[in-house]
């Protein structure tokens, strides 16, 4: 394992390191807890490196500034949390329809409504399923450490450009707030301004970027093209981490901070002689369907654990082809399960099986 350039970084700060290492030119954002440190880091580091930082007047303005900078062919990013993401959804729908790359970071807090500042995963549906109006999806990456806050943000820019689509980095308040050793990758090579941009020179004068198609057939074609893009993404970009699944009986499925607690719980269960495994989706769209279908052939049940009312559970169910039991455990409102909670649930699931 080569671990160079090690530094202790807060998850939220690591997002900005990742953005800068990925050649991001512009940050636009609006203050919101628990995502604030992302803007603080951007305010300090972007101008220092000759890049653009601007505190927008609203979440709506911020996402539209991203839309403008992305149209100019520059890598750009915005960050928010729950309710702020709700406000951005109109702009994200436009970005998706206009084939514009962008990176949006969501540090989920407790909801619905104003909620609270604790960790939750209640934004899953609004981020993973599209969220705004129309038939679009966004690629969604789910880091579970400051290290991945950095590297998955870098990957988000790469995927956004590759597929010309908005990409989310979806984390929770704890992954955003925790500090951990991070090994910083080398910065990427400079990218040329893409041919489709409205970059303000003669070469780009012919370009126009729009999302209005009055003719029904034209708009249907736009929709079909988007669905083709999403199919390619589903075929090629599924990412997940499988831990102790080779001989597992029951596999726990979870992401973000829950996956960190569950990993400890799996280790404790193994010490007790229980064959527990862990599947952690690192992409939520595309969902790691292939790995779920591979695992379901060899295990006896899944246990999905979330900080939501079962928003991801639907995707597990849709991914499964077999009829093995799928169990569910959740905490909401900013609460977290402890290792002991998870172990208890795991054991109760095993007992049911043995009944």
Binders in 8-67 for other proteins, by CB under 8 A: 8, 17, 20-21, 23-26, 28, 45, 47-52, 54, 56-58, 60-62, 64-67
Strand 166-172 relative to strand 301-306, pairing: unpaired
Rounded to a whole number of angstroms, the minimum distance from the CB of residue 157 to other proteins is: 11
Calculated CA dihedral for residues 341, 255, 305, 137, nearest 10 degrees: 160
Q: Is 157 in the site for other proteins (CB under 8 A)?
A: no
- Give the integer Cα–Cα distance in Å for 145 and 151: 10
Smallest distance, other proteins to C-beta of residue 210, A: 4
Q: Measured between alpha carbons, how far is 66 from 78 in angstroms, rounded to an integer?
A: 7
Q: What is the largest CA-CA distance in the chain?
A: 74
Q: Which of 113, 114, 190, 273 binds other proteins (CB under 8 A)?
A: 190
Given the complex with other proteins, which of 150 and 312 has the nearer CB atom?
150
What per-residue string of b and e applies to 287-326 under the rule 16 or more CB within 10 Å gives b? bbbebbeebbeebebbbbbbbbeebbbebbeebbeeebeb
User: By CB under 8 A, is residue 329 in contact with other proteins?
Assistant: no
CB of 271 to other proteins, least distance (A): 10
201 binds other proteins (CB under 8 A): yes
Neighbours of 285 (CB within 10 A): 24
Chosen residue from 29, 82, 84, 119 binding other proteins by CB under 8 A: 119
Look at the alpha carbons of 128, 129, 131, 132 in this order and tell me if their dihedral is positive or negative. positive
186 binds other proteins (CB under 8 A): yes
Contact segment (CB under 8 A) with other proteins among 203-211, 220-228, 288-296, 316-324 equals 203-211
- Residue from 35, 38, 107, 174 touching other proteins (CB under 8 A): that is 174
């Amino acid at each position: 394992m080569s671990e160079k350039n090690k530094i202790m970084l807060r998850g939220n700060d690591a997002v900005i390191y990742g953005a800068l290492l990925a050649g991001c030119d512009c940050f636009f954002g609006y203050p919101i807890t628990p995502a604030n440190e992302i803007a603080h880091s951007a305010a300090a580091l972007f101008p220092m490196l000759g890049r653009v930082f601007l505190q927008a007047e609203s979440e709506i303005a911020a996402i539209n500034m991203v839309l403008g900078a992305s149209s100019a062919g520059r890598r750009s990013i915005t960050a928010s949390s729950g309710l702020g993401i709700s406000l951005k959804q109109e702009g994200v729908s436009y970005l998706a329809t206009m084939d514009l790359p962008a990176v949006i970071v969501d540090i989920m807090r407790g909801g619905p409504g104003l909620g609270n500042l604790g960790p939750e995963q209640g934004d899953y549906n609004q981020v993973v399923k599209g969220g705004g109006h129309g038939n679009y999806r966004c690629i969604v990456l789910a880091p579970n450490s400051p290290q991945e806050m950095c590297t998955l943000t870098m990957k988000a820019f790469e995927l956004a450009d590759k597929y010309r689509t908005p990409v989310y980095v979806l984390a929770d308040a704890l992954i955003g707030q925790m500090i951990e050793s991070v090994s910083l990758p080398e910065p990427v090579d400079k990218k040329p301004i893409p041919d489709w941009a409205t970059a303000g020179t003669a070469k780009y004068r012919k370009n126009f970027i729009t999302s209005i198609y009055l003719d029904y057939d034209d708009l249907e074609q736009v929709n079909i093209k988007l669905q083709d893009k999403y199919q390619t993404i589903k075929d090629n970009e599924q990412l997940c981490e499988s831990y102790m699944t080779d001989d597992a009986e029951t596999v726990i499925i979870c992401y973000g901070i829950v996956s960190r607690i569950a990993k400890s719980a799996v280790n404790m269960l193994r010490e007790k002689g229980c064959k527990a495994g862990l599947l952690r989706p690192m992409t939520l769209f595309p969902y790691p369907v292939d790995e779920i279908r591979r695992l379901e052939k060899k295990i006896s049940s899944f246990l999905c654990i979330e900080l939501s009312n079962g928003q991801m559970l639907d995707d597990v169910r849709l991914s499964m082809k077999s009829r093995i039991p799928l169990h569910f455990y959740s905490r909401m409102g900013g609460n977290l399960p402890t290792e002991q909670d998870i172990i208890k649930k795991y054991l109760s699931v095993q007992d049911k099986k043995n009944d």
